[in-house]
């Protein structure tokens, strides 16, 4: 770069060096986004955050994503345990909107956690009741 004598030549040199890196970054981020899969044991909130980070990185390098495309990519990244919810969202409303899909996923997650808490509390009550019966027979 020290060999460049004009600001135009220096700018072109810098552009040739850094433009290729941003192209490589953009392509790597795109590949990561298109191949993104949520692990079964992974937290949905963390997965959505990672998805949003990738989309933001791509938007920052002037990649264009329509809202519906982002929603479909997010749904496609979910494990099979979300299959019925994904099908409902795909069939239920067109066009898909990312914020609506994200809200539906988070609401589903919240309901599943509440259901698990209720099941666990019923199990604890049943175990406690069983222990009480066993102790009364002694």
Predicted pLDDT of residue 29: 92
- Return the closest-CA partner of residue 25 out of 64, 70, 47, 58: 58
Q: Domain residue spans in the chain?
A: 14-130
Section 3-12 average pLDDT:
81
CA angle, 55 as apex, 54 and 61 as ends, to 5°? 95
**Mean pLDDT, the chain, integer:** 83
- Whether 123 shows a pLDDT value over 70: the answer reads no
- Return the closest-CA partner of residue 77 out of 47, 49, 100, 103: 47
DSSP 62: T
CA angle, 111 as apex, 109 and 112 as ends, to 5°? 65
- Whether 21 shows a pLDDT value over 70: the answer reads no
Per-residue pLDDT tens over the stretch 28-37 = 999 999 999 9
Per-residue pLDDT tens over the stretch 80-118 = 999 999 999 999 767 899 999 999 999 999 998 877 665
Give the burial class of 97: count Cβ atoms within 10 A of its Cβ; 0-12 exposed, 13-18 middle, 19 or more buried. middle
Predicted pLDDT of residue 12: 80
Which of residues 1 and 63 earns the better pLDDT score?
63
């Amino acid at each position: 770069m020290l060999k460049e004598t004009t600001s135009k030549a220096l700018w072109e040199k810098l552009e040739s060096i850094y433009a290729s890196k941003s192209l490589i970054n953009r392509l790597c981020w795109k590949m990561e986004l298109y191949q993104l899969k949520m692990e079964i044991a992974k937290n949905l909130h963390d997965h959505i955050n990672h998805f949003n980070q990738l989309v933001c990185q791509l938007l920052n390098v002037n990649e264009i994503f329509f809202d519906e495309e982002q929603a479909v990519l997010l749904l496609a990244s979910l494990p099979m345990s979300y299959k019925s919810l994904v099908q409902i969202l795909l069939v239920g409303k067109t066009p898909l909107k990312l914020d609506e899909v994200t809200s539906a996923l988070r609401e589903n997650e919240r309901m599943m956690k509440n259901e698990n808490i209720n099941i666990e509390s019923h199990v604890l009550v049943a175990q406690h009741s069983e222990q009480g019966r066993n102790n009364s027979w002694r």
